[in-house]
Structure 1
Amino acid sequence: MTAFINLSLTYFIISFKCAFDNEFLRILPRFLPIVDKRYRTCYNEIMNQETEILLNALKAVLHGESPDAENLPRAAGLAKKHSVLNILAPTLLKSANENLRDRVMAFYAEYLSQQESLKSAAEELFGELEKRNIPYMPLKGYYLKQLYPDPLMRSSCDLDVLFKEERTKEVKALMTDLGYKLFIANDHHMCHTRENVTVEMHYILSETPLPDYYDGVFSRLTHAEGSLYHFSDEDFYIFLLVHMWHHFKAGGTGIRSVMDIYVYRTQKPALDEEYLQRELKKLQLVLFEEKLKKLAFFWFGDGDGEGTDELAEFILKSGVYGTTQHAAAAGTAKMGKTKYFFSRVFPPAKDMKKAYPVLEKCILLLPFCYIARIFTALFKRPERLKSNAGALLGADGEKVAKMKDLFDDLGI
């Protein structure tokens, strides 16, 4: 009888998984504690299967081979979570059932439209920066796309550009002239939107383990032509790692980031390793890079994955930009739950100044801006508030300890 009940519960869970995807499985134990152990076993089995299918498919495409079309539909949800569905969409359009095929077709059409819009927006923006003699450097995805077998294999949700901070006023005017609206600003960038295009104009590269590492960064760049600058190959790789470190500490990073490491290292095999190690040592990212590179070549090459299980689990559960659960656990591991809570409710004044420009003129208004921030969260972003609160409450001792152990293992 017990075996029958267990089998029935297993079937029940898997059936609902297919119908409602991972969200149902995530909340199920809260309502049916009796199936918690069985749920976790089934969930892990399903996720392991989906992960294997997805990673094998991505590896095949990267190496110019055809992925396993028969099982690929099972990994479509995980692929979308990690922002790599665009890579598998052409195969899914041929092999998926009608329902999934229609959804993939809608996704892919929107994706292609957005990528074309980003490409046109980049050309337009760079042209204007050149006309106004404003030094600039495209960041991250803009160059990474060019290293993939097909640029469309590397998704980008926005365009990131660095410019000289003293030209901020001119850049603001430029973006307004191009029809962009300022969405948000903080101590390192301004985020602008126009239709389906998002552009982040960075005046500072501040999200680093070493706060002043990128001070005066333009003096370290290579001048290409006109107003265009770029990193050396080594410094681009370092910035890629620094950016991953930032997302890692803020809640996680996904499969796409690990794939970026693999693609970059295989396309740039002659990097100056001595320089890399010297700079990574300054940033305390030697172990971080070592582990990520090892995982990248294990997933997408012929490398050995020994010692990367915890890192792989963290990344697979993160999604492309991490999760609020991981962010809460990471923040709690770093500063304790109470201090982390207050840091979320009351950000530093320098961050508040970008969100509330009036503070630049009168810092005494800071308490009132905190009140405005709280009311905005309560009445305009209740779902986000609920998600963050739930994540903080769920950051129990076991999760926090596990996160701390992982960070220690990575040297961060």
Structure 2
Amino acid sequence: MKYTCIESEYLVALLKCALKNEDVPDVPVGLNWEKLVKLSNEQQVYSTIAPVINKINIPVEQAQELTFYTQNELVRMIAMKNELEQIEKELDALKIDYMLLKGSVIKLCYPKQKMRQMSDVDILYHEKDRERLVSMMKKRGFLLETSEANTDDFFKPPYYTFEWHRAIFDERDEFHPDFDLWKRAKQDKEKPSKYNIDESDLFIYSICHAYDHYCQSGFGIRFICDIYLLLNKLENLDMAYVNSTLEDFGIKQFGEDTINLAMAIFEEKEISESEQSLLDFILSGGVYGKRAAFGDVIEEKYGGSKIKYIFKRLFPPKRQIMKTYRVCERHPVLLPLFYIVRIFQKYKFKRKKINKELSDLKNIK
């Protein structure tokens, strides 16, 4: 197996040690610690390697940087966990059925839950409950940031982010398989409104989610960590059903490459040329892909025009504004006002994310 740089190779080695509780390998000669810490941040795996990197004598500046990252992430995770617990109580009281998705479930497979970083909490619910759900979240102090065809994104300062999915795929996207997670889900024994995702469906959805990111801008090494742990920790994983479903969705080969890559990395199996290419692609970007792929999106959808991209981001379709600000459905004349309101709200609460996106946009050739 080949790596693009020493830092990528050592990061993967640290991830392997952390997830398999193995001895930490010797630090390779010429390792750039600043570059490694930056890479772990871009890939959002610094909390994953934290337990093992503490056993290494690393430069003070990078040690402090990693400590800062992991402590902040831990505080945020605890706060998000407490918020979720309160929301779940309200969902039970309102009899709104829901299902936790993605990181909220996958983290249970990690040696320690705090080792799996999450940017938000993803929850599936039914379209019929949307009005009550939105009302509940707003009463809890959340701002409905964005409402898309299949999701509602809520934010509350300083960092509470919840994505509520009415469907797991947007029918407007090229990849949108007909996948009903409710069909095999089981009602929770303690929380009557909670449904637990079927283990095989969780694995399939994880592959689909990775493929969705792969088609748009790519994905990072954290997805491979997830796949490896799901393969090894899920007790009722039905691979015949998994393979059949992935074949129906047209992504069986992608699923096989992803699984084989996970096994090659963590179990030192042989790696094919296509899997090596996938690894190079993964390690060349961040947790959700790389800037080059972002540039491809700009080229394909906006003819390479950054101005058109910015305009589209500032002024999305009016149906999205109406979905987010329901008053506009009754009074369309208010649409121009709420376009401006949206811009100010985004800048107030998502300034860091906006600046990052503008920086990425600036660096596209």
Per the normalisation by structure 1, the TM-score is 0.73
Residue 210 of structure 2: which of 244, 261, 268 is its match?
244
> Is 1:234 matched up with 2:200?
yes
Q: Which runs of 5+ in 2 are unaligned?
A: none
Show the 5 A alignment for 1:38-57.
48-57=5-14
SS in 1 for 2:162: strand
What's the CA shift for 1:245?
Answer: 1.8
1:174 CA displacement? 1.3
Following the alignment from structure 1 to structure 2, what is the Cα–Cα distance between the partners of residues 218 and 268?
A: 19
One-letter code aligned to 1:239: Y
Corresponding position of 1:408: none
* Equivalent position SS for 1:204: coil
Contact in 2 for aligned 1:254/1:316 (Cα 8 Å)? yes
Distance change >3 Å, CA 61–CA 185, structure 1 → 2: same
Matched length:
345
Structure with bigger gyration radius: 1
- Change in CA separation of 1:278 and 1:209 when aligned onto 2, cut-off 3 Å: farther
Q: Does 1:143 align with 2:105?
A: yes
Deviations 1:212-262 (A, max 9, x none): 614x65344322341111222111111111211222222111110111011
For the residues of structure 1 that align with 2:270 and 2:242, how far apart are their CA atoms?
A: 22
For structure 1, list consecutive stretches of 5 or more residues without a partner in the other structure.
1-44, 395-412
In the alignment, the residues of structure 1 paired with residue 248 and residue 331 of structure 2 have an alpha-carbon distance, to the nearest angstrom, of 38
Residues 173 and 356 of structure 1, relative CA distance in 2, 3 Å threshold? closer
The answer as to 2:40 corresponding to 1:79 is yes
Q: Which residue of 1 aligns with 2:234?
A: 268
Q: Is 2:190 the counterpart of 1:223?
A: no
Structure-1 residue corresponding to 2:16 = 59
**Corresponding position of 1:199:** 162
Is contact 1:69-1:91 (8 Å) kept? no
2:178 alignment counterpart:
213
1:97 CA drift (Å): 2.4
1:276 and 1:341, CA in 2 relative to 1: closer, same or farther beyond 3 A? farther
- Whether 1:155 and 2:121 are equivalent positions in the alignment is no
User: 2:5 aligns to what SS in structure 1?
Assistant: helix
Counterpart-to-counterpart distance in 1, 2:166 and 2:182: 11
Question: Within 5 Å, which residues of 2 pair with 1:12-411?
Answer: 48-68=5-25, 70=27, 74=33, 75-94=36-55, 95-194=57-156, 195-207=158-170, 211=176, 213-214=178-179, 217-225=181-189, 226-268=192-234, 271-307=237-273, 308-330=275-297, 332=299, 337=303, 345-346=311-312, 347=316, 350-355=319-324, 357=326, 360-361=329-330, 383=355, 386-387=358-359, 389-390=361-362, 394=365
User: How far does residue 121 in structure 1 lie from its aligned partner after superposition?
Assistant: 1.5
Q: What letter corresponds to residue 86 of structure 1 in structure 2?
A: S
Task: Give the direction of change, closer, same or farther, for the CA distance of 1:279–1:342 in structure 2 (3 Å limit).
Answer: farther
Question: 1:270, 1:319 → 2: CA distance?
Answer: 31
Q: Is the 8 A contact 1:58 1:67 kept in 2?
A: no
Q: Distance in 2 between matches of 1:390 and 1:174?
A: 39
Contact kept in structure 2, 1:73 and 1:96, CA below 8 Å: no
C-alpha displacement of 1:126: 1.1
Instruction: Output the amino acid matched with 1:228.
Output: K
SS in structure 2 of the partner of residue 218 of structure 1:
coil
C-alpha distance 147-46 of structure 1, shift in aligned 2 (>3 A): closer
Q: Retained in 2: the 8 A contact 1:69–1:92?
A: no
| Alpha-carbon spacing, 1:121–1:91, altered in 2? closer, same or farther (3 Å) | same
194-203 or 111-120: which moved more? Answer: 194-203
The farther-off stretch of 185-194 and 233-242 is 185-194
Contact 1:186 1:353 in 2 (8 A): no
Q: CA RMSD in A?
A: 3.3
- What amino acid maps onto 1:50 in structure 2? E
